[in-house]
Amino acid sequence: MEPRSSSYPLTGLPKMAFEMASGLMLIMPVLMSLLALIILFLPSPQLKDKLLLLALVLPLVVVSLIAYRLFSKGLAESRLELSPEGIKQVQFGITQFAPWEDVLSITKVSQGRVMVEGLKLREVKLSGQPWAVWLTTLGGKHLEIPLASYARNWRDSALADDLESYAPWLFENDQQ
């Protein structure tokens, strides 16, 4: 039986961190809008003082709403896809693809400030919005995929089963 294509959404701590960040980006414009209303109704001898303060607050509201929208959309689209062709990680509009022959091993990889089990890759192909790909490559190519981002206890999940069907060499000397 040929392995099927499968998709795993972002989960666990990375998802929670992005949800918290996008929540803050939604709270900020609400607070700034309240500040703008307070400024409008403050007793001030100069109308130009009120307009200057509003001119400073309103662009921040707009920027925060745009950032919230981008974070929310990016979070909704983030996933790990496995197919007969290879493995694809989609995060915030950037797609990172590696054919199975470029998946080297399961090892400890960085997930923020902690080390978790993940895949070590030889090479990846990046695609997406040109500006986003450029920003991503500033820190070098990301040749690791933290598996805990896509399945809690990933070794006891469908993700492990799918990985083993596509890349059995990853599990040959498995001590876990």
Last residue of one domain, picked from the residues 28, 56, 75: 75
Render 92-142 in DSSP notation, one character per residue. Answer: TTEEEEEEGGGEEEEEEEEETTEEEEEEEES--EEEE-HHHHHHHHTT---
Check: CB of residue 106 under 8 Å from CB of residue 170. Answer: yes
Alpha-carbon distance 124 to 105, whole Å? 14
Return the DSSP state at 42. Answer: S
User: Average pLDDT of 77-83?
Assistant: 89
Q: Is there a single domain that holds both residue 44 and residue 95?
A: no
Q: Is there a single domain that holds both residue 138 and residue 159?
A: yes
Last residue of one domain, picked from the residues 49, 75, 101: 75
Would you say residue 150 lies in a domain? yes
User: Average pLDDT of 13-23?
Assistant: 70
pLDDT confidence of residue 93:
77
Residue among 51, 16, 6, 164 at smallest CA distance from 100 = 164
Q: What is the pTM of this model?
A: 0.70
Predicted confidence (pLDDT) per residue in 84-118, tens digit: 999 999 887 788 999 999 999 999 988 778 888 99
pLDDT confidence of residue 23:
74
Structural domain boundaries enclosing 131? 80-171
